[in-house]
Every structure is written in C-alpha cells, then in structure tokens.
Structure 1
C-alpha cells in the first residue's frame, strides 16, 4: 500500500503583536521571517494547498490559566491580535484556528480538521520557534502528522532556545528544512 502525501501550510501567530514594533510581544528581527513566509504563502495558494492561520486569542473579562505565567495579552478585539497586513486569510477556503495556549492543536479542532482533509504533512511557520512553533510541532507529531519547519520561516527573541528547539524537532518530531526546500514541497 502506498501512502499519498498531502501538504498543508500552517501560519502560527502571524499577528501584529509579534511583528509591529509598537505592540507588546514585538522583538527586533521578528519581521525578518515575513518575506520568507509570504513566499511560501503565495506558493501554497498558487498550487492549491490548504492554508491554516492559527492565532492566539484570549477572552476579555475572563480569567485564563496562562496569566499565571504571562502578562495578559492577545485579548479578543484588540488590534494586536489582527493578522499582519498581507497575511490575512484569503477567503473562506483558508481556515482560521484560534488558540488559547502555545500549541495550535491544544483544545482546538485542528487535528480533526486536518485528518478530514487527508493532510499528512504540515509545513509550520511563524513565531516563536521555542514556544508556539515547538508546541505545535510536538502536537502535530502526536496526532500523526509529519511536521516540517523551514528554518528561515520561524524566529525567536531567544536564538539559543530557537536553535535547541530546531535540533529537538529534527531529532524527535519532524523535519527541519531550508526555506527553499519547503517552497519546492509547496510547488
């Protein structure tokens, strides 16, 4: 029996909070990944690959367990949670997953949705490599998907932790490839 490979592109937290210098979670250099992500997004759209936008959102006026570790952030309706201009979903064919934890899989229907679409491989891009990307990759693997992380399409304000995370991803959970390799997969 041969298995068919079906690839989807998952953008994690490509929202203003991380990429606009005036926003609370911005860090210098975060925007360097945007041109690489834009190229992959164009390729995915052009070649008919499924595109999913995962964005962190928390409920206004309600407690959230995450506040035990982090300051209050990414509240519904706050402009910091808007998608970066040019990275908004391009119509209803692109799925949006709102998450309340680091992983795009935790307490969302992402795994169910991807299985229903027969996705086998997931190219994961966005921020932060050592936190939301790593958590999403680990859960992708646990749900039976092959996660693929293009090195130049993720970043972190802690480069040493990003490198350690990429090493762990390559060793235990999936593939770490160049942006060029990921673009070819989407081509």
Structure 2
C-alpha cells in the first residue's frame, strides 16, 4: 500500500515483542458466498492460513472472534435493525462457526463471541491481552470497513500497537476496503504486507518503522 506520508500522518508505529493474532469474524456466515452476509474471501483465508501456520510454529497466541445472538436478538439492539441479515447469526447456527479452513485448535485458540463490530466492545479481550502481556495486535479477518476498522481503532485506544497484513483482510466492497486500509494507515495502525508480518513472527525483531 502506497500512501504518501504527509506531515503528522501515516507514520509507522512498528511492532513490539509480544504479539497476538486476532482473527476477526472469519466465520461461515461471512465466508460463504451464498450467505446473505457473505462474500468471496478465499484469497484472504489462504493468506491468513499462511500467517497462522507460522504463528503456531512460533507459539504466538491466536484469538478468534465470532458473532452470535440469543433468540429475540435483543443483544443486537439497533445493529439488527440496521442490518436485518444479522439474524442468520443465531446462537448455535452453522453461520456462527469459524471457517473450518482455518483449522482453529479449540483447546489452545480462544474464541470470543461479540455482538457488535469491534472485538473489544463488550468482550473480555482487553483483559486477556493484558494478562498475556501483549503489546502488538495483528488483525486479520473481515470486513475491512466494518469489524476490522472498528477493532483497529479500539486496539489503538486500548494501548496496543496495531498491524494489518493487507492480504489477510477482505470486504464485500472493494472501494470500502481500499478506503478503510488507507484510513487505518493514515491514523490508526500499520498496513503492511503479509510477507512483512511473516518475517516479523519468525524473527520477532519488532521494528518495522522503515517498511
């Protein structure tokens, strides 16, 4: 991603020494093209698998998020009214399951259920990351303009360095995807290549300020 570094914007924050991979909403309801909430995320799933394979080898923690609602959907409040298709995400439904292509290890890779866009809103993620002394949140998943961007902003506001490998995030709208990545790089986190993050996880040298 080429973004001109104007004065005061789009500087790189770098990466720390204790990262986590946060896989946001790569669940069947979003990755199945036949779903009313779905889109083609095959390439993003493949790229994310590359990252997760290295993370598992290097013992970097991985956290997944999903969205689900109890019957009545009261937890969704006005979000459900704005996006009625969210009603397919009924607790226990197949749509709420993590895409099996990601091969989540249920014993070691935490699943956090959320109700709104940000993975931090109304969940215990911040406490989990604090307990594990995490300093860097690498965010992958979907959708770039919705849950990814919201999670990026909240991660920054909770005091974490934020990294988004651009091949590992996707959206139903290419224009919204591109605009959101630009906005993230300008103000909230570092949008970098998958290869950059893979090298970082392998060596954990931390500083990507010149990338």
Distance 1:112 1:124 in 2: 17
Aligned counterpart in structure 1 of residue 18 of structure 2, from 6, 9, 20 = 6
- Match status 1:127 vs 2:142: yes
Cα RMSD between the aligned structures? 1.5
- Match status 1:35 vs 2:46: yes
- 1:171-186 matches, within 5 Å, as 171-186=186-201
Look up the SS of the partner of 1:86 in the other structure.
helix
- Match of residue 45 from structure 1: 56
- Match of residue 54 from structure 1: 65
Closer, same or farther: CA 62–56 of 1 in aligned 2, 3 Å: closer
Q: Do 1:58 and 1:73's aligned partners in 2 also have CA atoms closer than 8 Å?
A: no
The CA deviation at 1:92 is 2.3
Structure 2: stretches of 5+ with no match in the other structure: 1-14, 203-211
Q: Do 2:155 and 2:162's aligned partners in 1 also have CA atoms closer than 8 Å?
A: yes
Look up the SS of the partner of 2:119 in the other structure.
coil
Structure 1: stretches of 5+ with no match in the other structure: none
Aligned counterpart in structure 2 of residue 16 of structure 1, from 28, 31, 53 = 28
- 1:64-103 matches, within 5 Å, as 64-65=76-77, 66-71=79-84, 72-103=87-118
TM-score, normalised relative to structure 2: 0.83
Distance 1:163 1:4 in 2: 26
Tell me which of the two structures has the higher relative contact order, counting C-alpha pairs closer than 8 angstroms and 6 or more residues apart: 2
The CA deviation at 1:168 is 1.3
Measured against aligned partners, the alpha-carbon deviations of 1:83-132 in whole angstroms (never above 9, x if no partner) come to 11132431322111100000000000101110110000011001100000
TM-score, normalised relative to structure 1: 0.93
Q: How many positions carry a matched residue from both structures?
A: 184
Distance 1:38 1:152 in 2: 11
Per mean C-alpha deviation after superposition, the further-off stretch among 136-145 and 4-13 is: 4-13
- 1:153-172 matches, within 5 Å, as 153-172=168-187
Q: Do 2:16 and 2:161's aligned partners in 1 also have CA atoms closer than 8 Å?
A: no
- Match of residue 208 from structure 2: none
